[in-house]
Amino acid sequence: MNRREFLVGSGVVLGASAVRPTVAGAQAQPPRGHIIAGLSERMLTLDPANHYSISATSVLRHVYDPLLDVTNDDKFVPALAESWRPVNNTTWRFTLRKGVTFHDGTPFNADSVVFTLKRVRDGKLVKSFVYQDIEDVQKDGDYAVTVTTKRPFGSLPAHLTMLGMLPPIAAGSEDAFFQKPVGTGPFRFVSWTHGDHIELAANPKYWKPGIPKVEKVTVRFITELSTRAAALRAGEIHVIDRVSPDMVQTLKGTPGVKVLDTPAVEAQRWHFQLARDNVKDPRVRKAISLAIDRNVIIKDLLLGYARPVVNPVPPGLIGHTNLGQKPYDPEKAKLLLKQAGQTNLAIDFVLMKDLYPKQLEIAQAVAAMLGEVGIKVNIRNLEIATAREQRTAGNYDLFFSGWAHMPHDPDWYFGQWFTKAGAEKMTRFNDPKVEQLIAEGRVPDPKVRQQKYEEIERILWEDEPELWPYYSVAIYAISDKLRNFEARRDYYVLLSEVGIA
C-alpha cells in the first residue's frame, strides 16, 4: 500500500466514525474549516487561458472546472465532460455534464465550451499558441461539442485539463469579468490581493457530492522557500509546495509538520547546441554522457530526492518505456573523445540563475566529472532572460534545463524540442525521421502514439541530443491537521478533496 492509499483509507475510517447514526447518516458532512496554503509562485492573472504558471493553474482549478481532470497516476477522468472520444483522426467529440451551474447561477452548457475554446484560439493570450490547430468548435445540442482540428491533435484532452471553462457572458467585458470571475469550480472567488493572497469560499452547489471539504481556502503567495517554510513551521499555513531537498530534515524535525514527496512529471534535460562544432559529433556527446556519474548527483547533491532516468519521458506518461539507465564509464568516455579527435575540449555550460534546486552545485560536480576525462567546463550562471537570449543566439554548448510535462503528455515536449521549427532558435535539432514520427504520433489512438513515441525515444536515447540526468521529485510539506492531501506529480496544490481537523 502506498502513502496515498493509506491516507485515503484512514480518511474513510475517520469519516465513518464521525457519522452519527441518524436517518441522514449516509449524507456527506457540510464543508468545515479553513485551509491556508503557501505557494511558491505569484499568480498574475485570474484568466485561465492567459498564463502557464503552475501555481496559477492549481489556484484556478478551484474556481473553474476544466472538461477533464488528470489523476496523479496520469489517468484522464471526467470533469465537465462526462465522456469524450475521437470520431476520426481530426475530430473529437465531448459529451457534457448536465445540471452544472456557474457560481452566478447561469447554466453550464455547450455554449460555454464553444466560447472558451474559440476565445483561446482566437485571442492573443498566453495559451493561444497551443490551440492553433483547432479548426472549428460546433455544438451539437446543449450538451455535446464537436471539435475539428487542422491536423491530428491527440493531446487535446490532455491540454484541456489545464483550461478552465468560462461562461459566455464574459465576452466583451473581460476586464470586468476577471475582476470578479465566476466558474463552475468547487470554490467561489472572494478576493485577490495582488502579490499577496487570494481568498476562496466553498461552492455549496458543487456538482461533485461531498466536495469541497472545507468552507474557506486562502492561498498565500510566498516566493521565498525559507519564508514559506517558516510560515508553515509557525502554524500560520497548512501546506507549502516546492520544498528543496536540504530543507526536508528541518521540516521533518518540526512537530506537527509532515513532508510528502512523489516522483514528478518532470525530467531534467540538459540540451546541447547541436550546430556547435564542439558537441556536433555524437561521439563527443556520448563521451560527456558516459563521464557523468548520475548517481552521485542524485544521492549526494539531491539527497535522494530525484530518480534515475530510463527514458526521456518520465514513467506514467504515454510513450514511456524502460530503456535502462545510462552507464557511467569515464574510460570509455576518454576513448571516444580520442576517436573524435577532441582531446582538448572546452564547453560552455549555461545555467538560468537560481531556477532549479541545487543547480550550481550540480553543475560544479559535473564540471569536476568532465574534468576527469579531460573536458574543461566553463560554467556560465546567467540571469534567466540573458541565458535564454544566449540560447537563442546559440552561444552555449550545454544548457541546464528541465521539462515538466504539464498536461501529462509528451507531445508538447517532442513538438517543441525535436521538430525543425520548434528547435530552430533553441537546440538546432533537425532529424526528418523524428519529425515524421512526431507527426504520426499526434493521432488520438493511444496504441499508435505509444508505438511512435517508443520509436522516437529509442532514436533520442541513442543519439543523445540532450542529457537526461534525473527525474525530479516534487516535495511538499503539510500540517498534520490536513486530511487526504495528495502530493501531486505535477506540482499542483489541490484542496477541494482535502479536509482539516
Nearest to 310 by CA among 460, 133, 493, 137: 460
Question: Could you say which DSSP state residue 445 is in?
Answer: -
Minimum CB–partner distance for residue 128 and another protein (Å) = 7
List contacts with another protein (CB under 8 A).
Answer: 44-45, 47, 50, 52, 124, 126, 128-129, 193-197, 220, 222, 226-227, 230-231, 233-236, 383-386, 388-389, 401, 403, 412-413, 416-417, 421-422, 424-425
- Give me Rg for the CA atoms of the chain: 24
- Residues with Cβ within 8 Å of 473's Cβ and at least 6 positions away in sequence, in order, are 261, 262, 263, 264, 302, 305, 306, 307
Residue placing its CB nearer to another protein in the complex, 21 or 255: 255
Backbone phi, psi, residue 403, to 5°: -135, 115
Minimum CB–partner distance for residue 175 and another protein (Å) = 8
Identify the three-state secondary structure at position 130: helix
Minimum CB–partner distance for residue 426 and another protein (Å) = 9
CA–CA distance, 420 with 415 (Å, rounded to integer): 9
Residue placing its CB nearer to another protein in the complex, 368 or 421: 421
Residue placing its CB nearer to another protein in the complex, 33 or 235: 235
Residue placing its CB nearer to another protein in the complex, 174 or 329: 174
Residue placing its CB nearer to another protein in the complex, 84 or 468: 468
485, 159, 391, 430: CA torsion to nearest 10: 130
Minimum CB–partner distance for residue 194 and another protein (Å) = 6
Residue placing its CB nearer to another protein in the complex, 43 or 370: 43
Residue placing its CB nearer to another protein in the complex, 345 or 434: 434
Determine the Cα angle at 465 with ends 401 and 74, to 5°: 60
- Residues with Cβ within 8 Å of 417's Cβ and at least 6 positions away in sequence, in order, are 271, 403, 423, 426, 427, 429, 466
**Grid coordinates of 182:** 465566476
- Residues with Cβ within 8 Å of 130's Cβ and at least 6 positions away in sequence, in order, are 120, 159, 412
Minimum CB–partner distance for residue 363 and another protein (Å) = 18
Minimum CB–partner distance for residue 218 and another protein (Å) = 10
Residue with cell 475554446: 117
Minimum CB–partner distance for residue 424 and another protein (Å) = 7
